[in-house]
Structure 1
Amino acid sequence: MTTVTPVQTPVRPGTPADAPGVPDDTVLSVRGLRKDFTLHTIDGRVVDALHGVDLDVRPGEHVALAGTSGAGKSTLLRCVYRTYLSGAGHIWFRTAGGELLDVAGLPDAEAADLRGQEIGYVSQFLRPQPRRSVISIVASAGVARGMDRTEARDAAAAALRQVAIAEHLWDMHATVLSGGQKQRVNIAAGTIAPPRLLLLDEPVSALDPANRAAVLDLIARLEETGTAVLSVFHDLDAIERLATRVVVLGGGRVLATGAPGDILRNPNLPLEVAR
């Protein structure tokens, strides 16, 4: 049994008629998304991770995913970024040019191009290629989003200053950095020439209080650029500060959605956040 099955080929360019129920003003519209995993090394059982998730994110909106461990939050981000193939459903992404693409069904090469140009992803881990300098990692993200090399290097320097990476580290190989430094380099690369959609998976988990505050400030300013953000935090204060809306997942399904103040203090919802 295979773990996943490719879904329908996307319509290009997309229109609302091609994607029923997708609002005209969204950057991301997830519809009926399903994902399972086959435990080949254990007993071959199939574990369901997502069970028909629907979700929208608009320009300048910050949607935070909440829920207990195993609820499907990181799996959802990876399906949107297409490092996981989904089993069924659609992941409609509206490009800067107005095309409506189903990320779930794009060929791998087209999905990779879209990731480089319009969709950013920041996790709590940076896995840099050997012998790549800190500044080249960040600058290459800017080049992928349309900057020329000189402009990208200048923007990379500014981004590294914003996340307090000392200049004497810029030309060092990123593999020698500490975990917190790598996380800040990851943030710099994710926010340079801000993408149309930014996915954040625990981006401040390894940071000390001062650097955490600086990174949260940087993420907060993304609203001004119109960047749509879909995030996972296990930090109630960060969610309250950044999110315009919270979506609660449980058992791979959407259990609730609403304003942070309403959702995060609802004792009937399965949340796993810390102050």
Structure 2
Amino acid sequence: MTTTTQPIADADTGPAPGAVLSVRGLRKDFTLHTIDGRTVGALHGVDLDVGPGEHVALAGTSGAGKSTLLRCVYRTYLTGSGHIWFRTETGESVDIAALPDAEVAQLRGHEIGYVSQFLRSQPRRSVLSIVATAGVARGMDREAAHDAAAAALRQVGIDEQLWDMHATVLSGGQKQRVNIAAGTISPPRLLLLDEPVSALDPANRAAVLDLIARLEETGTAVLSVFHDLDAIERLATRVVVLGGGKVLATGAPEDILRDPSLPLEVAR
């Protein structure tokens, strides 16, 4: 099994030296209220770090806890225990797991982005407005955000005739590309990607992967889930394998993805 040594964060004080994100001892359980009230464990003490300009891809079989981990970092899910240390642009260390909701919302708008295969379509909001608003939230003035949004939409292949339309009328693949454009405009310090190219045809998939690859130049820390071996090999600087809610291995993509002893579920 392939492993690498990572910097150690003090579980009680902040992220590892140089890291943007340090997850320590993270646990998450779900209670099945609609069935019989039993508790099902999803994460069982996960530790990982992501540094500036690093792309860490989560791998493992279905049910390993990959998407759950992303949602805990984004605070869509509340954690059971553990710490999610984030180093802000001012250098302050905050524990996302313990922050008040208002402070989490502020981080989401400005410093932490999340892109999934689904776009939450906003009524009466145009495609261009959705993307430009993400740029404004990250500190761009409106004119610069408008120009950057137009450039991002061109990059992901959204026809200009669609920019003034409400996103609710777009196809699934178009919504996914708008989501990518909004997630990468004025790139955040930390970007979470959950199957961001799953609904795309080969040409648009290639364009989106090009866009994600360039995030390394901006210093954005990326934590992602892909069920696509080619995408992981192209984008990831490190792969973390989850199994049964625990970290089983971490290392370079060329080592991890070819280790027959690891439970992987990726397609080429």
TM bucket (normalised to shorter chain) is over 0.9
Q: What is the alpha-carbon root mean square deviation over aligned residues?
A: 1.1
User: 1:149 and 2:142 equivalent?
Assistant: yes
Match for residue 132 of structure 1? 125
Q: Give the TM-score, by structure 2 length.
A: 0.95
Structure 1 runs (4+) deviating above 3 angstroms are 16-22
SS at match of 2:41: strand
**CA offsets 1:24-68 (integer angstroms, 9 cap, x no match):** 200000000000100000000101000000000000000000000
User: 1:178 and 2:164 equivalent?
Assistant: no
Match for residue 74 of structure 1? 67
Q: Which amino acid aligns with 1:108?
A: D
Which runs of 5 or more structure 2 residues have no equivalent in the other structure?
Answer: 1-8
From 32, 35, 38, give the equivalent of 2:31: 38
Match for residue 250 of structure 2? 257
Which runs of 5 or more structure 1 residues have no equivalent in the other structure?
Answer: 1-15
User: 1:87 and 2:74 equivalent?
Assistant: no
Q: Partners of 2:233 and 2:94 in 1: how far apart?
A: 31
Match for residue 215 of structure 1? 208
SS at match of 1:160: helix
**CA offsets 1:66-123 (integer angstroms, 9 cap, x no match):** 0000000000000000111101000000001000000000000100000100000000
Alignment of 1:17-36 (within 5 A): 19=12, 22-36=15-29
User: 1:235 and 2:218 equivalent?
Assistant: no
Q: Partners of 1:235 and 1:17 in 2: how far apart?
A: 34
Preserved CA contact (<8 Å) 2:14 2:86: no
Q: Partners of 1:17 and 1:28 in 2: how far apart?
A: 13
Q: Partners of 2:211 and 2:10 in 1: how far apart?
A: 37
Alpha-carbon spacing, 1:17–1:43, altered in 2? closer, same or farther (3 Å): closer
**CA offsets 1:166-209 (integer angstroms, 9 cap, x no match):** 10100000000000000000000000000000000000000000
Preserved CA contact (<8 Å) 2:25 2:83: yes
Q: Which amino acid aligns with 1:195?
A: P
Alpha-carbon spacing, 1:200–1:18, altered in 2? closer, same or farther (3 Å): closer
Return the offset for 1:245.
Answer: 0.2
Match for residue 4 of structure 1? none
SS at match of 1:74: helix
Return the offset for 1:21.
Answer: 7.7
Percent identical pairs in the alignment equals: 85
